[in-house]
Amino acid sequence: PDLFEAPDYYNIDDLLSEEHKLVRDAAREWVKRDVSPIIEEYAQRAEFPKQIIKGLADIGAFGPYIPEEYGGAGLDQISYGLIMQEIERGDSGVRSTASVQSSLVMYPIWKYGNEAQRQKYLPKLASGEWMGSFGLTEPDHGSNPGGMTTHFKDMGDHYLLNGAKLWISNSPFCDVAVVWAKNEEGRIHGLVVERDMEGFSTPETHNKWSLRASATGELIFQDVKVPKENLLPNKSGLGAPLGCLDSARYGIAWGAIGAAMDCYDTALRYAKERIQFGKPIAGFQLQQKKLAEMITEITKAQLLAFRLGQLKNENRATSAQISMAKRNNVEMAITIAREARQILGGMGITGEYSIMRHMMNLESVITYEGTHDIHLLITGLDITGLNAFK
């Protein structure tokens, strides 16, 4: 990991501000020091390394763009992206924890919550004292979250919440969960559910071959009494959770570049050192084709993410533009991981190198936050005006 060199074939660093580079380099150093040396062992054990929570908070990974008055880092969208890139260079599961905390828990409380809710939750989430999860997906409603059946009833002085969420990152250890549920009229609202509320449980999902260093589980609500002040008052309808996903998907578009960079960097160094038939395998045309295509695709993905970051900073990025970048960059990364693994031959399947772990992680990344197919259909709808979902 000491030798890591981030490919920057088109001098994209020239487009970054000093602040961007400082934020990026701090995240890179931290990942190199505190994540890369331990992450393989945690992934093998299928355990989230809780000791890195403080470090994540220190590099600004919890609420990078949330204003400082609420404990966030007060950075722009490009800094947010760069932090996600560096974290995912270490591991997609660690980036998941940061994505969920920032874009799926802090973001809705900041955007859709009232001042009391912001004051109560955001500083503790920014410091990592409290960890959050985001419950949208259900056993029978994944790509189609609008069909959700989790629901709540107005009981006068509180709401009564019933239902279940599945595939929830951070659920097994979360202190708070932002949960999307329907009221008696079928309108979707966000509720903040706290760990100690009676009837709330979070069983862990085991036997994953992917994202093993991230804890995934269920959120189960059996007659949970949720105080009325825990309903996020300022936005309702499916557009509310989808707005959070826009922010998380944008971070993933950058994050995937980090995983791809690590695979490329590892494969390039290995290919220059590994001798077969009397010369480095990097000297064979077939290996050069793989490496040359990798750096080309990484460079294209960097430009896509950077431009999207500019649009985000100007509040001009559309949901469809974000879908395109998430879809393209994750596919780019998974393809590079598969090719890079082959360059390492047998060594590529071991935990001595990070590539196979990235490859398996990316199988989740290409599925969550909207599957590869769903993002294609979002582009299809955007360019044709014809809705393939209905």
Q: Tell me which residues touch ligand TGC (CB under 6 A).
A: 96, 99-100, 134, 136-137, 143, 145-146, 169, 237-239, 242-243, 245-246, 248, 319, 368-370, 374, 378, 389
Question: Alpha-carbon Rg of the chain, whole angstroms?
Answer: 21
Chain contacts with ligand FAD (rule: CB under 6 A): 100, 134-137, 142-143, 167-169, 211, 216, 364, 367-369, 371, 373-374, 377, 389
Q: Give the length of the chain.
A: 390
Shortest reach from residue 69's CB to ligand TGC, in Å: 25
Shortest reach from residue 4's CB to ligand TGC, in Å: 23
Alpha-carbon dihedral of residues 87, 91, 92, 95, nearest 10 degrees? -30
Enumerate helices (H) and strands (E) in the chain, giving the number of each.
Answer: 12, 9
Q: 23 vs 245, which CB is nearer to ligand TGC?
A: 245
**How far is the C-alpha of 87 from the C-alpha of 298, rounded, in Å?**
17
- Return the one option of ligand FAD, ligand TGC, none that residue 239 interacts with (CB less than 5 to 8 A, by type): ligand TGC
- Return the one option of ligand FAD, ligand TGC, none that residue 114 interacts with (CB less than 5 to 8 A, by type): none
Q: 211 vs 322, which CB is nearer to ligand FAD?
A: 211
**How far is the C-alpha of 215 from the C-alpha of 368, rounded, in Å?**
14
Candidate list 297, 331, 339, 369, residue with the active-site label: 369
**How far is the C-alpha of 13 from the C-alpha of 159, rounded, in Å?**
50
Shortest reach from residue 374's CB to ligand FAD, in Å: 6
Short-list 85, 240, 101, CA closest to 168? 101
Under a CB-based contact definition with an 8 Å cutoff, are residues 245 and 146 in contact? Answer: no
SS3 275: strand
Q: 19 vs 47, which CB is nearer to ligand TGC?
A: 47
Q: 339 vs 369, which CB is nearer to ligand TGC?
A: 369
Shortest reach from residue 63's CB to ligand FAD, in Å: 17
Contact residues for 22 (Cβ-Cβ < 8 A; gap 6+): none
Q: Active-site residue 47, yes or no? A: no
The burial class, CB within 10 Å (0-12 / 13-18 / 19+), for 151 is middle
- Return the one option of ligand FAD, ligand TGC, none that residue 306 interacts with (CB less than 5 to 8 A, by type): none
Shortest reach from residue 60's CB to ligand FAD, in Å: 21
Active site residues: 369
